Structure 1
Amino acid sequence: MIGLRKFLVAFFLTSCLLLTSCAQQAPSRFDGAQQESTSKGATAVVDNSQSGGSFNRYFPDSGNGYDRIYSQEKKGFAQAKLKKDGQEIAILSISDVLNNTITVDKYQSSTDKINGFPAVAQGSTATAVLVGDRYQVKIRSKDSSFSESDREEWLGKFDLRGLSKLK
């Protein structure tokens, strides 16, 4: 009797395991965002993308009442918050757009330049430059006091020439 009970328990557990492993999983809440971003031409980070940590040395330093705080680092991307008097006023970022031709194409007709690199406004709160046809350096205002001219000034504080040599 004990042998039959052990067999039935083992059979039941194995059956449950097989049934649940073969069942279709509901889509993740991130699947829709991934589908949407890739349908718009954005592509995933590729193996040749730079590590996010390799971008940190190109960000402007803190000083003159401003604090730069690194907030995110992943392959192909680094981000920092810019604070003044403890208040977040802008987001600074560098992205490796090696595999994103749509982003690169946006700069082809640009007549604006910052330190010799093509610049574009991205909506009313962001300004970006393309460095070496590979790296997008972007500043997005988080506070209305941080204007377009402030964004352009801070983009000029990045080590864009040094970044252009990063391979």
Structure 2
Amino acid sequence: MRQHLRRFLTVFVLAALLLITSCASQPPSRFEQAQQQSTQRGASAVVKESTSGGSFNKFFPQGGNGYQRVYTQEKKGFAEAKLKKDGKEVAVMAISDTLNNPTAIKKFEQSTEKIAGYPAVQQGSQATAILVNNRYQVKVLSRDPSFTREDRQDWLEKFNLNGLAQLK
């Protein structure tokens, strides 16, 4: 009888522990943590009305004078190209639709600088961005110390900004 009682208690305790631990909340996985962090920063999922990334490609500047443009990423609401000189990456150029990240517009509200007539901001020491038609963020990021703030501004002016402003 004692042996049956001991087995019953052992099974009961194990079942109770299993039930308790399975109901306990688990810490978020690394993917859930990344999603939570990006949502807290104001990024959201891609909205349906967002412009397709492929439609941005025609607004990027051409290469030339030793520079080569290499498209690297294209998705809904975003397109990116690397700028290479002598085979070395010197900058990254990007166009993004702020419908996917409305808080991106806020940084331009206090802008006193303009590039090609559009509000501009410096983002740290290696990025310059402008806001076109209060919707499209055009950004150039230096990837090499030889590519200066003035270079970033020159390349921003080479984008077909008037064409981008007409994009719906």
If the length of structure 1 is used for normalisation, what is the TM-score? 0.82
SS of corresponding position for 1:33: helix
Distance 1:163 1:125 in 2: 24
Tell me the percent identity: 62
Question: CA RMSD for the aligned pairs?
Answer: 1.9
- Deviation, 1:31, is 2.3
Q: Aligned pairs, how many?
A: 146
| Divergent runs of 4+, >4 A | 24-28
CA apart distance, 1:45? 1.5
Q: 1:39/1:160 Cα in 2 relative to 1: closer, same or farther (>3 Å)? A: same
Aligned to 1:107, the other structure's residue is in SS state: helix
Q: Tell me what 1:94 maps to.
A: 95
8 Å CA contact 2:77–2:100 kept in 1: the answer is: no
User: 1:120-131 maps to which residues of 2 (within 5 A)?
Assistant: 120-131=121-132
**CA distance in structure 1 between the partners assigned to 2:167 and 2:141 by the alignment:** 23
Q: In 2, Cα distance between the equivalents of 1:130 and 1:90?
A: 19
**How far has the Cα of 1:81 moved from its partner?**
0.3
Q: Give distance in 2, aligned partners of 1:39 and 1:140.
A: 24
Aligned equivalent of 1:108: 109
Q: How much has 1:101 moved relative to structure 2?
A: 2.6
Structure 2 counterpart of 1:137, one-letter code: V
User: Unpaired segments of 5 or more residues in structure 1?
Assistant: 1-23
Q: Which structure has the larger Rg?
A: 2
Taking the aligned partners of 2:144 and 2:40, their CA distance within structure 1 comes to 31
**Equivalent-residue separation in structure 2 for 1:33 and 1:135 (angstroms):** 25
Q: CA deviation at 1:25?
A: 9.5
Residue in structure 2 matched with residue 34 of structure 1 by the alignment: 35
From the superposition, tell whether residues 39 and 145 of structure 1 become closer, same or farther in structure 2 (CA, over 3 Å).
same
Q: What's the offset of the Cα at 1:41?
A: 1.5
Structure with more of its chain in helix, by fraction = 2
Q: Cα offset for 1:28? A: 4.9
Corresponding position of 1:65? 66
Where structure 2 has 5 or more consecutive residues not aligned to the other structure, the ranges are 1-24
The alignment's TM-score, normalised by the length of structure 2, stands at: 0.81
Mapped partners of 2:31, 2:74: distance in 1: 19
* DSSP 3-state at the match of 2:35: helix
Please state how far the C-alpha of 1:30 moved relative to its aligned partner.
2.8
